[in-house]
Structure 1
Amino acid sequence: MSGTGAALSLDCPQTLSTECWKVPGYRYVSYDNSAATPCGVSAINGTAAGICERPNVRVTSWVINGKNVIADPFTDGWDLCGVPFLSDLAATLNTWDPFAGGWTTAFSDACAYFLRSRALPPTGTKYGVLTAVDIDTKETITFTPVDTVVADTYYRRITEVDCDGTTTTRWTNDAGATVPAPDPAQIVECTVQVTPGARVTPTQRVRPRIARFTGTASSTNLDRIPADVQSMTLTVLAGAVRVRAAGSGATNSSGGPTTYGDDVTVPAGITLTWAVDGDSNDLALDGGLIFTGTAAGADFLVHWTEHIYTDAD
């Protein structure tokens, strides 16, 4: 057989392959005890209200995936407002959650302190209302969660060959617009189902604080601050300052309940510091301190660091 050879003409550029990639999304579920907030709704007898210090409650139901996971109601207790209350509530959720949601205290500007799950897939386990009855007041207490969802982000990697044989690769978003290449450490193929790559616990940060006191003023019992205090420093500028070690719940005026006998007067020119190393074993100082000027001429500084949990990156 004979014939005439002819050059083939290709459309240029020509697509060699189109691949689908994604940055996996995630979801957080949150509960709040501060009435109606972006992080959840707490209610008393059906009316949105803040809920604090409930030492004697009977938890009757927690609806997950449309079913009550608490088949046998139980008696529990939740402590003061802020972090103590939320820590108790988190313990309740972690005890009864069959899906191991990993509930921890978090912080945000919109909600202050609240409860948040670990990172979950964008869709899946549906957490619902937690209901309890205050045995002392007979009130019905409910917590309704809020989902914060970040969907999967899709990309296309398109490999093309030009008329001169040059091969190039470009990326487009889900709408087809050309975009910079995504971080290769964040993407997986679209067919891959993975556990969310978001952090298991909220971002942990240490926030510095400082306050100045004069005369016979007293500092707040630092054990009552709604955060984990990792360090505190007293600097006496003038006069003298009385330092008392008091247990949780003590106030400036009463000092009680006091669980320690420490009660000393510190003169001017002295600086004292208390601190932990901040690792997972020694996260916060245990027990509070109250600082009080002993006379009108007293002048002192108290500064401390707070370990907080926040959704911010």
Structure 2
Amino acid sequence: MSGTNAGISVDCPATISSECWKVPGYRYVTYDNSGATPCGTSTINGAAAGVCDRPNVRVTSWIINGVNVISDPFTDGWNECGQPFLADLAATLNTWDPFAGGWVAAVSDTCAVHLRSRALPPTGTEYGVLTATDVDTGQTLTFTPDDTVVPDQFYRRVTEIDCAGVTSTHWLDANGNPTAAPNPARIVECSVQVTPGARTVPTERVRPRIKRYTGAVASPNLDTLAVVQSITLTVLAGAVRVQAAGTGATSTTPPTAYGDDVTVPAGVTLSWAVDGDSYDLALDGSLLFTGTSAAADFLVHWTEHTYQDAD
């Protein structure tokens, strides 16, 4: 038998490998006590309404993954409004959440003060309605959450070899269109299941604020509007009444009520601030500034936490 051997040719360019990669997504679950908002809905006897100042409530159910995780109804208290109310509610959720959602009172331009979880996977634990009864009024209170979801972003890395034997790599998006290579520090293989890389808690930012008041006017109680780290009062003219009230405790003493009330003359600057360690997120208690006459002129500037999900 005789014959000739011919070389075997392959089509070129040819794909050597096609790999699936992703930027892991994340999700935040939010509850709000301000009625129907983009961060959740609160109701009183089934009608959307703001809920606050409830010192005596009986928590009856919290539905997570379709199951009531409140094994035995219990009495709790959610005091005041705004950030203090939600801090109390966050403590309730963190006590009873079997999945450690990491609930904190957060501030955003969309919903002002509301309650938010730590970063969660885009799919998974389904948080549902929390129900309680106001023991004093008999009203039924409910809180229904809202989800903010950033899905996984999928990419395909394709390696090819051309007819000259040279290899090259390019990236495709989820629709198969050419795209720029994603940040290598953010991607994992599609088969890898990871805790969201977004953060264990929302990124914390501090925003500076300042307002000027003239005449016999009062500033709002900043404690109910934002998570405040520092406040400074500067009296330019006239006099300003300063009222500070709340309760405080130390490692060796129980909470003690206080109510300070002084008048501050022109030319004086006063400041209040947390000490910057990891235990003190915000100032606590009320702090009110009121001009005592038409001649009063004063500045209030403060720093407050905002929360952003952007990388």
TM-score, structure 1 normalization: 0.88
Q: Distance in 2 between matches of 1:164 and 1:220?
A: 74
Among 295, 298, 306, the alignment partner of 2:296 is 298
Matches within 5 A, 1:91-110: 91-110=91-110
1:310 Cα deviation after fit: 4.3
- 3-state secondary structure, aligned to 1:83: helix
Answer yes or no: is 1:11 the counterpart of 2:11.
yes
CA-atom RMSD, angstroms?
2.3
Q: What per-residue deviation string (whole Å, max 9, x for no partner) do you get for residues 271-301 of structure 1?
A: 3333234332232234443333344323221
Among 271, 274, 278, the alignment partner of 1:276 is 274
Q: Which residue of 1 aligns with 2:45?
A: 45
- For the structure 1 residues 287 and 128, does the alpha-carbon distance in structure 2 shift closer, same or farther, using more than 3 Å as the test? closer
Q: Distance in 1 between matches of 2:141 and 2:230?
A: 36
Structure 1 contact 245–258 (Cα < 8 Å) conserved: no
Structure 1 contact 238–297 (Cα < 8 Å) conserved: yes
Q: Tell me which stretches of 4 or more aligned residues in structure 1 moved more than 4 Å.
A: 310-313
Instruction: Give the letter for the 2:239 counterpart.
Output: A
Q: Which residue of 2 aligns with 1:252?
A: none
Q: Distance in 2 between matches of 1:206 and 1:128?
A: 31
Answer yes or no: is 1:65 the counterpart of 2:40.
no
Answer yes or no: is 1:208 the counterpart of 2:208.
yes
Number of residue-to-residue matches in the alignment:
303
Q: Which residue of 1 aligns with 2:225?
A: 226
Answer yes or no: is 1:169 the counterpart of 2:169.
yes
Q: Which residue of 1 aligns with 2:82?
A: 82
Q: Which residue of 1 aligns with 2:252?
A: none
Q: Distance in 2 between matches of 1:32 and 1:124?
A: 21
Q: Which residue of 2 aligns with 1:141?
A: 141
Q: Distance in 2 between matches of 1:289 and 1:34?
A: 23
Matches within 5 A, 1:160-199: 160-199=160-199
Q: Distance in 2 between matches of 1:120 and 1:8?
A: 53
Q: Distance in 2 between matches of 1:139 and 1:292?
A: 36
Q: Distance in 2 between matches of 1:167 and 1:59?
A: 64
1:171 Cα deviation after fit: 0.8
Q: Distance in 2 between matches of 1:112 and 1:63?
A: 25
User: Gaps spanning 5+ residues in structure 1: where?
Assistant: 249-256
Identity within the alignment, %: 70
Among 289, 306, 309, the alignment partner of 1:308 is 306
Instruction: Give the letter for the 2:161 counterpart.
Output: V
Matches within 5 A, 1:214-253: 214-222=214-222, 224-247=223-246
TM-score, structure 2 normalization: 0.88
1:114 Cα deviation after fit: 1.5
Structure 2 contact 198–309 (Cα < 8 Å) conserved: no
